[in-house]
């Protein structure tokens, strides 16, 4: 099947995504406060080769160049996040006017170049001063976050209509507050459960605040998701996969949809009860205009006697003799179709937008060019599955590639390269990859 832009319809939204901490740099400049990722990545042993994003892609100083590149490629929509600690250095209280002015310049230049800005309010870089008070485990964060959201709408809402509340809450709570492999590096079930409930409260409360202050806002939030299948044919493997799906794919979307936490299917969620106060359950729901689906792969699950509470383990792609990316994620395009079909069954949301999809592969710069055929194949195959879901009746109305440029990939450092544009992190030189030209040609092929 040959896919063209016109197959998706004239109103389909095409774009690219980035995140503040992964590209901006200027980590402690112009009044910015430290974030949990500033602290975590500057602490030895936490990231690949102890790398950090103190400079990253230097987007803070080079944003005009990158936005011009986007315009050159004909990409009409740009999803980026705001750094909470650049806007409010301590997380609460005094506002940093230089940070406000920076984002005003980014927004204004996007509009000048004919690019629609899509803002993510929280993409994992919590102000460190709030983490010192408990961060996402402290219920006060519902108020802290609400004040931050209101301030962002006040300063930017006159020009920005597309807002995403949280990015992948399952990842930052699980990796950051349970496993300790992401910032802030906490471990333990109680930290995870507290952070989970407070994040779920914030995703709906943030939506309500944006709606109350900006009547014509287009409001959403984003979810990480992987297609979950049992590794074997046994009943035990099937039940293990069912529990993992409840945890990874349903934990945050179902309370938002008014269904509550999937406690009946994952008993460990009964332990959320101490964190749920009177009236919370009704406040968890909010009718988002859209939900963002962020799918890259599938996971194969087997029963495990050695993993308490969930009794399951992931069988890594490297152990299954399948094609993988540099993240050791299986290349499995059908996962996109399956997840769009799954999320399309929730009736409370008007539409779905694929707010992230892409792949990290080794890139070799030769003669000023990068021939990244594997990335092109990946994007092509996954887009076919988006179209398949759309033709099956799913209201999927947008697709954003992760990412515009190579960037700092969290604990994996600079090794995985996801960008349509290559970045030499020593010189900050940008080189458009073949995949960038492919995407550009795709967008004009109608």
pLDDT band, very low/low/confident/very high, at 412 (cuts 50, 70, 90): very high
Query: What is the spatial distance between Cα 402 and Cα 399, in angstroms, rounded to a whole number?
Result: 10
Told to judge if 429 belongs to the known catalytic residues of this protein, a careful annotator would answer no
38 in the Ramachandran plot: left (φ > 0), alpha (ψ -120 to 50) or beta? Answer: alpha
Please determine, for residue 395, whether its predicted confidence score (pLDDT) is greater than 80: yes
| Phi, psi angles (nearest 5°) of residue 297 | -160, -175
DSSP letter at 225 equals E
User: What digits encode the pLDDT tens for the residues 216-264?
Assistant: 999 999 999 999 999 999 999 999 999 999 999 999 999 999 999 999 9
Give the CATH number of domain 5-444; options: 3.10.50.40, 4.10.80.400, 1.20.140.10, 3.20.20.80: 3.20.20.80
The pLDDT score that the predictor gives to residue 5 is 60
Told to judge if 281 belongs to the known catalytic residues of this protein, a careful annotator would answer no
User: What digits encode the pLDDT tens for the residues 44-66?
Assistant: 999 999 999 999 999 999 999 99
Please determine, for residue 1, whether its predicted confidence score (pLDDT) is greater than 60: no
Q: What kind and span of H or E run contains 290?
A: strand 290-303
Please determine, for residue 2, whether its predicted confidence score (pLDDT) is greater than 80: no
Query: What is the spatial distance between Cα 331 and Cα 382, in angstroms, rounded to a whole number?
Result: 9
**H-type alpha helices, 50-162:** 59-72, 84-87, 97-112, 128-131, 141-156
Please determine, for residue 139, whether its predicted confidence score (pLDDT) is greater than 70: yes
Mean pLDDT of 9-36: 98
Greatest extent of the chain over all pairs of C-alpha atoms, in Å:
64
Residue spans of the domains in the chain: they are: 5-444
**What residues have CB less than 8 Å from 408, skipping those under 6 apart?**
21, 22, 23, 41, 51, 52, 53, 56, 57, 414
DSSP letter at 246 equals I
DSSP letter at 8 equals G
DSSP letter at 436 equals H
Exposed/middle/buried for residue 346 (C-beta within 10 Å: 0-12, 13-18, 19+)? middle
Catalytic residue among 129, 131, 168, 338: 168
Query: What is the spatial distance between Cα 330 and Cα 295, in angstroms, rounded to a whole number?
Result: 12
User: What digits encode the pLDDT tens for the residues 158-200?
Assistant: 999 999 999 999 999 999 999 999 999 999 999 999 999 999 9
Cis, bond preceding 312 (omega within 30 deg of 0) = no
User: What digits encode the pLDDT tens for the residues 207-224?
Assistant: 999 999 999 999 999 999
User: What digits encode the pLDDT tens for the residues 336-391?
Assistant: 999 999 999 999 999 999 999 999 999 999 999 999 999 999 999 999 999 999 99
User: What digits encode the pLDDT tens for the residues 20-29?
Assistant: 999 999 999 9
The mean of the pLDDT values for the chain is: 97
Query: What is the spatial distance between Cα 119 and Cα 335, in angstroms, rounded to a whole number?
Result: 26
| Phi, psi angles (nearest 5°) of residue 91 | 90, -30
User: What digits encode the pLDDT tens for the residues 295-339?
Assistant: 999 999 999 999 999 999 999 999 999 999 999 999 999 999 999
């Amino acid at each position: 099947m040959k896919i063209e832009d016109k197959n998706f319809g004239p109103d389909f939204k095409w774009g690219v995504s980035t995140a503040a901490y992964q590209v901006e740099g200027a980590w402690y400049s112009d009044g910015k406060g430290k974030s949990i990722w500033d602290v975590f990545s500057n602490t030895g042993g936490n990231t690949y080769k102890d790398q950090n994003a103190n400079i990253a892609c230097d987007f803070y100083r080079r944003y005009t160049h990158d936005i011009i590149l986007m315009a050159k490629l004909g990409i009409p929509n740009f999803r980026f996040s705001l750094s909470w600690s650049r806007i409010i250095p301590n997380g609460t209280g005094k506002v940093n006017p230089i940070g406000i002015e920076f984002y005003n310049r980014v927004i204004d230049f996007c509009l000048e170049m004919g690019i629609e800005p899509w803002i993510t309010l929280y993409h994992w870089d919590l102000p460190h001063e709030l983490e010192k008070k408990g961060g996402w485990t402290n219920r006060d964060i519902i108020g802290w976050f609400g004040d931050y959201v209101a301030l962002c709408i006040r300063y930017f809402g006159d020009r920005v209509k597309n807002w995403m509340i949280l990015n992948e809450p399952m990842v930052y709570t699980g990796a950051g507050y349970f496993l300790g492999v992401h910032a802030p590096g906490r471990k333990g079930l109680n930290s995870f459960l507290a952070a989970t409930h407070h994040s779920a409260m914030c995703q709906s409360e943030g939506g309500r605040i944006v709606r109350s202050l900006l009547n014509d806002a287009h409001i959403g939030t984003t979810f990480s998701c992987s297609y979950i299948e049992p590794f074997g044919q046994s009943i035990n493997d099937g039940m293990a996969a069912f529990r993992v799906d409840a945890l990874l794919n349903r934990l945050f979307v179902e309370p938002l949809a008014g269904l509550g936490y999937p406690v009946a299917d994952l008993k460990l969620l009964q332990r959320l009860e101490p964190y749920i106060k009177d009236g919370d359950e009704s406040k968890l729901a909010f009718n988002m205009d859209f939900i963002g689906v962020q799918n890259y792969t599938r996971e194969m699950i087997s029963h495990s006697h050695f993993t308490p509470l969930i009794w399951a383990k992931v069988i890594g792609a490297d152990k299954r003799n399948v094609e993988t990316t540099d993240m050791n994620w299986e290349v499995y395009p059908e996962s996109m179709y399956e997840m769009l079909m799954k999320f399309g069954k929730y009736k409370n949301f008007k539409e779905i937008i694929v707010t992230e999809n892409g792949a990290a592969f080794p890139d070799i710069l030769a003669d000023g060019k990068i021939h990244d055929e594997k990335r092109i194949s990946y994007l092509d195959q996954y887009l076919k599955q988006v179209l398949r879901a759309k033709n099956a009746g799913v209201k999927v109305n947008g697709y954003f590639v992760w990412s515009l440029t190579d960037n700092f990939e969290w604990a994996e450092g600079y090794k995985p390269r996801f960008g349509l544009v290559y970045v030499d992190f020593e010189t900050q030189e940008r080189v458009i990859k073949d995949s960038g030209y492919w995407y550009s040609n795709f967008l004009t092929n109608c």
